[in-house]
Amino acid sequence: MKDLSSNGSRAPENIEQIYRTLYENLPDGIVGFDKNGRITLCNDRVLEMFGYSLEEVIGETFDVFLPPELKKTAWKAFVEGIERGHSLYIGIETIGLRKDGTTFHFHINSTVVYENEEVTGYFSLVRDIDDRMNALEALRMSEQRFREMISSVPEGIATTDLDEKLMFVNDGFAKLVGYKVGELIGMSILDLIPSEERNTISEGTVGRRMGIASSYNLTLIRRDGQKRNTRVSAAPWVDAAGTIIGTLAVVVDITEQIRLEHDLSEMKGRYLLITEHSKDLIATMDMNLQFTYVSPSVKDVLGYEIDDLLHKSAADILTPESLELMGRSLVESIQLEETVGKDGYEAPPLEFEIYHKNGSTIWAEVSRVFLRDENDTPIGILGVVRDITKRKIAENEVKTSLRELELYSSLLRHDIGNDLQIASGAIEGARLTAGDVSKVEKYINMAQASIERMFGLVTLADTRSTGPVDKLGVLVEKSALQAESVHSGLKIKVKADSSARDASLASGRLLPLFFDNMFRNTSIHSGPNSKIVINLRKVGNLIQIDIIDDGPGIAAEIRGSIFQRGVSTKGKGMGLYLCKRIIEGYGGTLELLESSPSGRGAAFRAQLPIRELDD
């Protein structure tokens, strides 16, 4: 077995145990083949995945795990992939057949094992990817609904018809190949691929016609002639009737990854291969959470050199919240083991926020098992750490978009109804004062302002940006001027120092609707010729917005519930409820102050986080 130190790592004394524990407990299945392709070993995860006993699979070829219609094609693809220059990794996604007859999607990643430069067999990692395939299917069925969101993600996403013509590309794909989105639509994807690799696309499309998904490496030629190595995950694209009309592909630029992989030395030994060259970080620590071993991938995942991290503990790299979660989960695992035994439960993966060496943080999914002594007593922890930062960012973007969509829907119903009443009242006023030109013009201006505001509400749905709000003072002043034109006699004064006026917020597409509703509430409850003063002030890393009117104030019996849905002295009581939801949606607070500075009227205070310069 190869010494870990030969690859720049420090091998702990229990390295053999680490390898054995990894083999037995890795979330992925491990299968070994002899040079004739017959199974020589597999771990428990493979047996659980397919429902067989070890005796039933030893000596069989891998097609024992495949449905009849795929046995020939899948095994042929595996063998041909190995024969093409004995490449280090051969990845195949296909459908597996369990012993009980059920099927599922899985991915197999294989490597050639050499002994004295002779091929002696193969090792494969097998992963159940049903969840991923289901997610891809859900994405495929939601193209229209999530088109804007897809356009904003950094990975390349594209669809082609069955003639390989590009039907849709997002900004990430266009950036990857150096074209504008409009230039790519209608172009053949084959024009972006070297001639020697075009057969990969053609073969994939044949599979797509039969409903088969696949993943593969592919070279793309940029507009400037540069070549980029990519990893493509492709699935059938269907129309509303369920007819396959093309391919949906997610394209990830792995040029740097490929460059690093080409620098790797030839790897020997199944455990060393898995540990030393896993893209996930593999680490061990003692029961005091001090690191005792880290794999070389720590450089890519966290930016540390191996020796740097071996002098640290989990407390040095986990955020306080994640450190608390780790400690709590460790205690729970030990308590469960005492109750049901070490084989009576499986610790679920946990998500931790970890400090990168450069000071930023990443999100990681961590699977872990205990390392044990000869008495099965836990003496350490073996963990597999996977960077899921991009996934967490995407999840947060989806949550923000859905929250804004929900609020916008409620605001649209609420605000357009109110503006229609104003416009209708203004038109009726104009009709009744037809002889007085100045009054008619006043009512027409009110109706026009309400109509313009309704138009703004409708067009807000087409706004793609959920980005920062620059110069908050300008936004407030614009909202104030619009409100004064809509509500007869309303006067609004905005007070702000330069730091508050020029403050930027990280997000706030719906903030104009917040101010519109606050101003409308004053106009409705305070009557004509009402006045509002707005004070903008920077308080630490927050912007404080005080909105003070000269109306009758809030009745004592509803002050405690004023922000609840349906609570109001007039109307349906939706305005303040929606205002509070908008502010809280952007990480802020909204409260009714105990008293107004002037001693009369109502005073509200909103606080929102200021966008830092490096946001």
Gap between the Cα atoms of 576 and 564, Å rounded: 8
Which of 418-442 are b and which e, b meaning 16 or more Cβ less than 10 Å from the residue's Cβ? bbeebbeebeebbeeeeeeeeebeb
Percent of the chain with pLDDT over 90: 21
pLDDT tens digits, 81-137: 556 544 444 567 888 999 999 999 988 887 888 888 788 888 888 988 888 787 777
Which of 369-396 are b and which e, b meaning 16 or more Cβ less than 10 Å from the residue's Cβ? bbbeeeeeebebbbbbbbbbeeebebee
**Whole-number pLDDT of residue 58:** 94
**Whole-number pLDDT of residue 407:** 60
Q: Which helix (H) or strand (E) covers residue 549, if one does?
A: strand 542-549
Specify the pairing of strand 291-294 against strand 281-286. antiparallel
**Whole-number pLDDT of residue 298:** 86
446: amino acid identity, one letter: M
**Whole-number pLDDT of residue 615:** 45
Backbone phi, then psi, for 278, in 5-degree steps? -70, 135
**Whole-number pLDDT of residue 27:** 79
Nearest to 93 by CA among 187, 192, 212: 212
**Whole-number pLDDT of residue 370:** 87
Contacts of 62 by beta carbon, 8 Å cutoff, 6+ apart: 31, 33, 37, 39, 75, 78, 108, 124
Enumerate domains of the chain plus CATH numbers.
4-128 (3.30.450.20), 133-259 (3.30.450.20), 289-387 (3.30.450.20), 392-609 (3.30.565.10)
How many Å from the N-terminal Cα to the C-terminal Cα in the chain?
48
Query: Quick one: tokens of 131?
Result: 């969840």
**Whole-number pLDDT of residue 85:** 44
- Backbone CA torsion sign across 485, 489, 493, 494: negative
Q: In what order do the strands lie in the sheet with 214-221?
A: 166-169, 156-161, 244-253, 227-238, 214-221
* pTM of the predicted protein model: 0.35
Length of the chain: 615
Which of 84-100 are b and which e, b meaning 16 or more Cβ less than 10 Å from the residue's Cβ? eeeeeebbbbbbbbeee
* SS3 (DSSP) at 310: coil
589: amino acid identity, one letter: T
Contacts of 275 by beta carbon, 8 Å cutoff, 6+ apart: 18, 19, 22, 282, 295
**Whole-number pLDDT of residue 101:** 92
Residues of the chain with pLDDT under 50: 1-9, 85-89, 265-268, 461-465, 571-572, 614-615
Gap between the Cα atoms of 319 and 29, Å rounded: 32
**Whole-number pLDDT of residue 5:** 38
pLDDT tens digits, 450-494: 666 555 555 554 444 455 777 888 889 988 888 887 777 889 999
Specify the pairing of strand 531-539 against strand 491-496. parallel
**Whole-number pLDDT of residue 465:** 45
- Strand locations in 453-530, DSSP E? 491-496
Half-sphere exposure in the Cβ direction for 106 (13 Å, CA): 25
Gap between the Cα atoms of 225 and 227, Å rounded: 6
**Whole-number pLDDT of residue 155:** 87
CB count within 10 Å of CB 566 equals 9
| Residue 556 CB-density burial (10 A; 0-12 exposed, 13-18 middle, 19+ buried) | exposed
Gap between the Cα atoms of 60 and 34, Å rounded: 11
**Whole-number pLDDT of residue 296:** 86
